[in-house]
Structures are given as structure tokens and as C-alpha cells.
Amino acid sequence: MRFSHHINSRTLPLIVTSLLFVILFGFGSIAYPSFFSAQVFINLLIDNAFLCVVAIGMTFVILSGGIDLSVGSIVALTTMVTASLVEHQHWSIYSVIPLVLLMGAAFGMLMGVLIYVFKLQAFIVTLGGMFLARGLCYVISIDSIAITDAAYTEISQYRIMLGDEVFISINAVIALITLAVAIYLAQYTRFGRTVYAIGGNERSAQLMGLPVGQTTILVYTLSGFCSALGGVLVTFYMLSGYGLHALGMELDAIAAAVIGGTLLTGGVGYVAGSLVGVLILGVIQSLISFDGTLSSWWTRIAVGVLLCLFCLMQRLFERGGTSFSALFAYWKKPLEPAGRAD
């Protein structure tokens, strides 16, 4: 097939990441008897659905060459607003969810406008957004608000059975749908390709006549929306709103994107990679909890090491761009007479 044709310096990080996931999962299956099951795999998705959604938004931002540090705080703010409206004001779930999604999108859009129109650095603007959103949580309440609304608990506990024993949660389904939409956006729409172009070279994108401003603002709007959606998933998962929810999640999301093969300099990477990135973070967590003797902080250590390794790997690919594809040239040879015929 033409699979080998698709191995190049851009797809390789994703392939390596996927292989790593398989290896980690394989290791767990051998080391712990009950590890190898479809439910353990699906649990990775269920337990990390919100991170997955947030990481998808983050991936678009990073692809465009930016960064969004506000996502964790927007998640927390969303949980707070949701919990407060549902519990204290007794709003219906069907009006609360659209409202908080809109709120997240508007928050992101505002940051996008600041970044593009006033040419401010994304790092600083979203850092401001991060403090602002986190602070607003405590304006609502400094304590955790438990959600007892019937509709919420029902959704939270709803299990979609796949076969007799394996089930999947609504959260995981929403995450998968978000992923599918995001892949479509990135690969098959003008918006998505413009994001890649801006990440590759913003000035070129401008000179090619692409709508750079509009797209930049949309990217942050999308990230804000994804964060709010992530927040909604957290309320389903935790059944509470709290200002301390999702502390440091922006960094987990960045880590997932980078491990998934997205270059922090923008323009290179795949949305699907971020799912694999999230799954790797999840599988490390599972391995450590299955082991039982290690402190959960070992997850952080493993993630730290992985991140450094992946960045190093990407730099090597980047630098060796042509020499690296030469390494794979012997696979391509029978397929394609690459190069110029004079």
C-alpha cells in the first residue's frame, strides 16, 4: 500500500507517539493480569474526555503559532457558572449549557481580538485571561458547589453499552464527536488550512491573500469554546463546580498536543495526535494506579521526561528534514520516481 509513502518528518512524530502508546499499553497488559481489556482502554477515554476536548482546542491554537494559557481557568469558570446557575438559580440544563458554551467562546474571541487587532503577545493575553477567569470563579463562591440536579446526575451516570460488558460514557462520546469535527475542520475546510498556513508563515499567509485576522480570532474563539465544552464535561464527570477544578490543565493540554506531534512553533501537527497524546497521559496514570506502590506524582515525572524526549525528537526531525526523508527514501523508491525529470 501507500503507507510508507506517508512516512515523512511530519507524520513520524505521530507514528512514534502511537507506537509508544501501543508499547505502554502492551507493557501494562503483560505486567498486570486485568489490564488488557477493552474497558481499561475505554476508561482512558472516559477519564480524560474533558482533557481531550480542551487539548483539541489547544491544538488549533498551537497550529496557528499561538498559545492559550487560559483554558484550565475557563474550564473551572464554566463548572462554577454551571453549578451556581443549576443549583442556586435552578436553571434548566438545556439553557445553562448553551449559555456557558457561548460564554467560553466569547471569552476566547475577546482574547483573539486583543491578540490580533492590538498585536499583543498571545502568551501575555491568555495569561491575563487565565488569572481573570480563575479569579471570577471565587467571585461566585470560594467553596465547591455540588450539583444534585436530576438531569445532570442522569447524564453523568448514563452508560452506553457496547456489547455485554463494555460501556462508554456520554463524555467519551462527546469527546469523540468533537475530535471528528475537529479533524474535519483541520483537514477539509478553508479555515483549517488557513490555520496551518498562518502557523507556517503568517506574513506569507497575508501576502497569499488569506483571511489571517479573521482566522486568528476564530482560533481563540474555538479554543474558548472547547474549554467551555471541557468544563461541561467536567461537571458531568465530577458533578460539582469548584474554583480549583482543572488547575494546571492548560499545561496538560499543551503537553498532550506536543506529545501528539504538534510543533510548538506552529504549522505542523495533527489534531488526532492530541488524542493519542491524551491517551498516553492516561495510560501512564493507569499503569501507576495498577502498580499501586508508586505515588501518583510519578505520572508527572514520566510526562516530564516524555515531553523533553519528544521535543528533542521533533528538533532532530526538523533539522534533519531532508536527510531524514532520505533515510526513508528506499521505501519510497519503487512507488514514486521522486525528484525532477529533466
Partner 1 sequence: MTVEPILVMQGICKSFPGVNALKNAQLRLFPGEVHALMGQNGAGKSTLIKVLTGVETPDAGEIRLNGQAISPACVGEAQKMGITAVYQEINLCPNLSVAENIFIGRFPMRAIGIDWKTIEHQAAAELAALNIHIDVSLPLASYPVAIQQMVAIARALTTEAQVLILDEPTSSLDEGEVERLFQALRQLKQKGMAIVFITHFLDQTYAIADRITVLRNGEFIGEYPASTLSRLDLINTMVGREINEASYAANSSAQAASVADKPYVSARGLGSTGGMHPFDLDLYRGQVTGLGGLLGSGRTETARLLFGIDRADSGTIRVDGHAVKLNSPRQAVRYGIAFCPEDRKNEGIVADLSIRENIILALQARRGIFHYLPKRAQSAIAEQYIEQLGIRTSDAEKPIGQLSGGNQQKALLARWLATDPKMLILDEPTRGIDIAAKLEIMELVKAQCKKGLAILFISSEMSEVLRVSDRIAVLRDRQKIGEIAGHDADEQNVFRMIAGAEA
Applying CB under 8 A, which of residues 224, 230, 267, 282 lies at the interface with partner 1? 267
H/E element, 42? helix 38-47
Stretch that binds partner 1, among 32-40, 180-188, 228-236, 289-297 (CB under 8 A): 180-188
Counting contacts by CB under 8 A, is residue 188 touching partner 1? yes
The residue (of 6 and 159) whose beta carbon lies closer to partner 1 is 6
Contact 274, 55 (CB under 8 A): yes
Stretch that binds partner 1, among 76-84, 103-111, 189-197, 294-302 (CB under 8 A): 189-197
Applying CB under 8 A, which of residues 122, 268, 287, 288 lies at the interface with partner 1? 268
How far apart CA 47 and CA 41 sit, in angstroms, is: 10
The residue (of 2 and 90) whose beta carbon lies closer to partner 1 is 2
How far apart CA 14 and CA 16 sit, in angstroms, is: 5
The residue (of 197 and 302) whose beta carbon lies closer to partner 1 is 197
The residue (of 50 and 310) whose beta carbon lies closer to partner 1 is 310
By CB under 8 A, what part of segment 191-210 binds partner 1? 193-194, 196-197, 199-201, 203-210
Stretch that binds partner 1, among 18-26, 279-287, 306-314, 318-326 (CB under 8 A): 318-326
The residue (of 93 and 263) whose beta carbon lies closer to partner 1 is 263
Counting contacts by CB under 8 A, is residue 338 touching partner 1? yes
How far apart CA 177 and CA 80 sit, in angstroms, is: 25
How far apart CA 210 and CA 93 sit, in angstroms, is: 39
How far apart CA 116 and CA 105 sit, in angstroms, is: 16
By CB under 8 A, what part of segment 4-33 binds partner 1? 8, 10
- CB-side neighbour CA atoms (13 Å) of 151: 12
Applying CB under 8 A, which of residues 211, 290, 294, 307 lies at the interface with partner 1? 211
Least distance in angstroms from the C-beta of 70 to partner 1: 26
Counting contacts by CB under 8 A, is residue 184 touching partner 1? yes
Counting contacts by CB under 8 A, is residue 315 touching partner 1? no
Backbone angles phi, psi at 90, to 5 degrees: 60, 40
Burial of 329 (C-beta count, 10 Å sphere; 0-12/13-18/19+): exposed
Counting contacts by CB under 8 A, is residue 342 touching partner 1? yes
Least distance in angstroms from the C-beta of 315 to partner 1: 15
Least distance in angstroms from the C-beta of 259 to partner 1: 19
What 338-342 contacts at long range (C-beta under 8 Å, 24+ apart), as own/partner pairs, is none
SS3 119: coil
How far apart CA 301 and CA 297 sit, in angstroms, is: 7
SS3 241: strand
Q: How many CB atoms sit inside 10 A of residue 279's CB?
A: 24
Stretch that binds partner 1, among 129-137, 248-256, 305-313, 319-327 (CB under 8 A): 319-327
SS3 166: strand
Q: Which residues bind partner 1 (CB under 8 A)?
A: 8, 10, 184, 187-190, 193-194, 196-197, 199-201, 203-211, 267-268, 321-322, 325, 336, 338-342
